[in-house]
Amino acid sequence: MTVRPWIVPGVRPGVDVSARARWGLLVAWAVVVCGCHMTSPAPVAERAAEPPVAASATGSAPLLRVEGRHFVDPDGRVVLLRGVNLAGDSKVPPFLPLDDPAALDPLPALGINAVRLLFLWEAYEPEPGEYDEAYLGRMVAIARAAWRRNLYVIVDFHQDGLSRWASRGCGAGFPAWALSPRARRAEPDNGCGCKGWVFHLVTDRDVHRSFADFYADVQGVRTRYLAMIGRVASAFADCPGVVGYDPLNEPWGNELEELAPLQRDAAAALRSRHPGAILFIAGHGTTSCGIQTRLPRPGFGNFAYSPHYYLPHAVAMGAWDGVTRPLDHAFATMQAKADAWGVPLFVGEFGIGAEVRRSGDYVAALYDRLDQALASGAQWNYTPRWNEHARDGWNAEDYSILDHRSRARRNFQARPYAQKVAGVPRELKFQSAGLARGEPPRFECSWQHDPTRGATELYVPLALFPSGSSLTLDPPDTTCTRDDARQLLVIVIRASRATSVRVTLSAP
């Protein structure tokens, strides 16, 4: 077995790297991560035919399936997912994202229609082969509560820095017994001393030894992981609203030799229990900074490309400078891979701390680019137990979009978008730059209408577009009904043929 304790992008696995060279490579990697290396993304012809999507374990059609570049519902409508990760403090005991399902109540009114539900291996299998079925049952109950609120659920098998017993006590995810036998266990911390947890992840040799041994199935850890996710999928398969799984959050390892085979085997384990599930696939953890993945296109179907994106220097400096070039580069890179694979783009994590200077402008710029790409995503994060002292409850992070009174914080604003489109969406555009100057917002949406697919539903927040807003419809025989209770515009086209539709909404 080749030991790869230092897995740095750009270094061929197995190469012995001196301590000084390792630090040089780490610095060079950090420069790349910070967006200073801006090569233009070039899509690769990797597209392949998709096999048909199987029905769920109960025999019913899945609530969502992948069809080309889109998520599609049973009526054939294209669905855009605008979700949130649940929750920041799920990474530490008691590992549950909320105490009361009522904590989910504010989300639909904010236009959120999906949650990426963090599931912790440590919580479910604290010892090899010993499963905490009570934890799994509570997580299934949360997923059911989410769907009662019309929130799709993506189950995320989450890790950051491998484990609470790794990354100098600042990680999360894997149980202690899953660490390499050659690794020394750290004492779990996850407090204020862990603000630099990413640095600990990168520089902790035991993390990389453990990942290497995990992929090599030392002591059967990889085998136990696959058995675990299969058990979890069995429980969620009959749970309404659960549409898919992220097999492993922000993984480390060689993308070609280790990560791709793991995703293949994880897909088989999950699909054996939940055949209609969508797989949300991402590359090496460092791709979260806008670096292009080298993952080959998976050989299975019904999957989405699900990278993450954070702007490191904005996080590190506690301020956004307003420069959008790194954002443009990152989204072009992510979209190029989704285009090459011919699948939807779902940005599984993005966001910034609420107290970061210009956090609202930064997040708005990210959503602008989601709109431009007609992409889906889930902001990091919503922590129902957030408070001014503990904040997100993990490593002193402060990303929650809502405070303890369920009020939106500076890093989030409800904004209009097309939730369900009877046809193929062409353009989404929300003009909000003039809000601070008192200028009214404007929203435009266009699509190629398919008369066989029913009504189009646009989420339009009343706070931005109250009664009396100006609405323009093209073609003019389009019927629009405003559902204020759900903050939706429901568009019905009378034409029996395919036609181009444009809706423009301007606040008074």
* Model pLDDT for residues 14-25, shown as the tens digit of each residue: 333 333 333 333
- Cβ neighbours of 76 (radius 10 Å): 13
162 lies in a domain? yes
In which domain, by residue range, is 472 found?
423-506
449 lies in a domain? yes
One domain for residues 380 and 231: yes
- Cβ neighbours of 495 (radius 10 Å): 12
Q: Which residues are within 8 A (CB) of 405 and not within 5 positions of it... i.e. 6 or more apart?
A: none
Angle between helices 359-373 and 325-341 (to 10 degrees): 30
Point out the domain boundary residue: 394, 414, 434.
414
Q: Report the CATH number at residue 468.
A: 2.60.40.1180
Span of 211-215, 415-419, 476-480 with lowest mean pLDDT:
476-480
One domain for residues 402 and 432: no
Q: Which residues are within 8 A (CB) of 471 and not within 5 positions of it... i.e. 6 or more apart?
A: 480, 489, 503, 504, 505
One domain for residues 406 and 475: no
pLDDT at 55 over 70: no
One domain for residues 315 and 218: yes
Percentage of the chain beyond pLDDT 90 is: 82
**Tokens coding 289:** 């900074």
Task: Tell me the mean pLDDT in the region 445-462.
Answer: 95
One domain for residues 88 and 191: yes
Distance CA 123, CA 91 (A): 9
One domain for residues 301 and 440: no
DSSP state of 494: -
Span of 84-98, 100-114, 190-204, 406-420 with lowest mean pLDDT:
190-204
Going by DSSP bridges, is the β-strand pair 346-347/70-72 parallel, antiparallel, or unpaired? unpaired
One domain for residues 181 and 228: yes
pLDDT score, position 321:
96
One domain for residues 337 and 210: yes
One domain for residues 192 and 228: yes
One domain for residues 99 and 216: yes
Point out the domain boundary residue: 414, 436, 455.
414
pLDDT interval class at 433 (50, 70, 90): low
Distance CA 381, CA 398 (A): 9
pLDDT at 41 over 60: no
259 lies in a domain? yes
Q: Report the CATH number at residue 81.
A: 3.20.20.80
- Domains held by the chain: number: 2
pLDDT interval class at 477 (50, 70, 90): confident
Mean pLDDT of the chain: 89
Best CA proximity match to 350, nearest among 330, 324, 323, 373: 330
Buried b (16+ CB within 10 A) or exposed e, 235-266: bbbebebbbbbbbbbbbbbbbeebbbebbebb
pLDDT at 463 over 70: yes
287 lies in a domain? yes
Span of 7-11, 221-225, 231-235, 296-300 with lowest mean pLDDT:
7-11
DSSP state of 120: -
Walk across the sheet containing 417-421 and list its strands: 65-67, 70-72, 78-79, 417-421, 456-459, 488-493, 478-483
Q: Which residues are within 8 A (CB) of 227 and not within 5 positions of it... i.e. 6 or more apart?
A: 269
pLDDT score, position 61:
78
Task: Tell me the mean pLDDT in the region 438-445.
Answer: 91
- Cβ neighbours of 279 (radius 10 Å): 22
Instruction: Specify the DSSP element, H or E, that contains 260.
Output: helix 260-271
SS3 of residue 311 by DSSP: coil
Handedness of CA 114, 334, 364, 69 (dihedral sign): negative
50 lies in a domain? no
More confident of the two residues 31 and 74: 74
pLDDT score, position 304:
98
HSE-up (13 A, CA, CB side) for residue 13:
16
Answer yes or no: are the C-beta atoms of 160 and 211 closer than 8 Å.
no
User: How many H helices and E strands in the chain?
Assistant: 11, 21
Answer yes or no: are the C-beta atoms of 83 and 152 closer than 8 Å.
yes
More confident of the two residues 187 and 434: 187
44 lies in a domain? no
One domain for residues 323 and 351: yes
One domain for residues 331 and 467: no
Point out the domain boundary residue: 356, 382, 414.
414
12 lies in a domain? no
> Is it true that the peptide bond before 475 is cis, omega within 30 degrees of 0?
yes
495 lies in a domain? yes
Question: What single string gives the DSSP state of each residue in 354-380?
Answer: TTSBTHHHHHHHHHHHHHHHT-EEEEE
